[in-house]
Amino acid sequence: MTPQELKNSILQLAIQGKLVPQRAEEKINETEVIVLEEHPFEIPENWGWQTLGNCCDLYTGNSISEREKKEMYEGRKEGFDYIGTKDVLFSQEIVYDNGVKIPYKNDFKRAYNNTILLCIEGGSAGRKIAILDREVCFGNKLCAFNANKIFYKFLFYYLQSSEFKKVFIENRTGIIGGVSIKKLKNIILPIPPLAEQKRIVAKIEELLPYVERYEKAYNELQQLNKRFSGDLQKSVLQLAIQGRLVPQCPEEGNAEDLYKQIQAEKQNLIKAGKIKKEKPLPAITDDEKPFEIPQSWKWVRLGDLGFYKKGPFGSALTKSMFVSKDNRAIKVYEQKNAIKKDVKLGEYYIKREYFEEKMKGFELFAGDIIVSCAGTIGETYVMPDNFERGIINQALMKIKLFAPTYMPYFLMYFDFILKKNAKTNSKGSAIKNIPPFEILKKYLVPIPPLAEQKRIVAKLEEILPLCDKLKIK
262-319: pLDDT as tens digits: 999 999 999 999 898 999 999 999 999 999 999 999 999 999 999 999 999 878 998 8
Q: Give the closest residue to 92 by CA, choosing from 160, 9, 194.
A: 160
How distant, in Å, are the alpha carbons of 10, 59, 227, 362, 406 from that of 341? 45, 54, 26, 19, 20
- Residue-level pLDDT at 227: 65
Q: Which amino acid is at 307?
A: F
- The DSSP bridge partners found for residue 96 are none
pTM over 0.75: no
CA distance 151 to 156: 9
CB 305 within 8 A of CB 401: yes
**CB–CB of 404/232 below 8 Å?**
no
CATH architecture of the domain formed by 3-208:
Alpha-Beta Complex (3.90)
Domain with CATH 3.90.220.20 in the chain: 3-208, 253-447
Residue type, position 409, single letter: Y
Angle, helix 3-15 to helix 162-170, in steps of 10 degrees: 90
Q: Determine contact, residues 178/121, Cβ cutoff 8 Å.
A: yes
When the pLDDT of each residue in the chain is averaged and rounded to a whole number, the result is 91
Q: Which residues lie below 8 Å from residue 400, measured CB to CB, with a gap of 6+?
A: 275, 306, 307, 365, 367, 368, 369
Burial of 170 by CB count in 10 Å (0-12 exposed, 13-18 middle, 19+ buried)? Answer: exposed
pLDDT of 421 above 70: no
CATH number of 253-447: 3.90.220.20
Q: Which amino acid is at 26?
A: E
Strands (E), 24-160: 48-51, 56-60, 80-83, 101-102, 110-111, 116-119, 129-131, 136-138, 142-147
Confidence at residue 459, expressed as pLDDT on a 0 to 100 scale: 94
Residue 426 has pLDDT above 70, yes or no: no
Per-residue confidence (pLDDT) for residue 376, from 0 to 100: 80
Residue 415: band (very low, low, confident or very high) from pLDDT cuts 50, 70, 90: confident
pLDDT in tens, 151-168: 999 999 999 999 999 999
Q: Could you give the C-alpha distances from 408 to 330, 342, 453, in angstroms and in order?
A: 29, 18, 9
Per-residue pLDDT for 431 more than 80?
Answer: no
Q: At what angle do helices 194-241 and 450-469 cross, to 10 degrees?
A: 170
The pLDDT confidence band at residue 427, using thresholds 50, 70 and 90, is very low
Whole-number Å distance between alpha carbons of 409 and 455: 10
Beta bridge partners of 51: 188
Residue 178's beta-bridge partner residues? 173
* Alpha helices for 299-396 (secondary structure H): 335-339, 352-354
Question: pLDDT band at 388, cuts 50/70/90?
Answer: very high
Amino acid 331: pLDDT: 97
Q: Where are the beta strands (DSSP E) in 395-454?
A: 396-401, 444-447
Whether pLDDT at 344 is above 50: yes
Segment 92-117 mean pLDDT = 94
pLDDT exceeds cutoff 80 at 52: yes
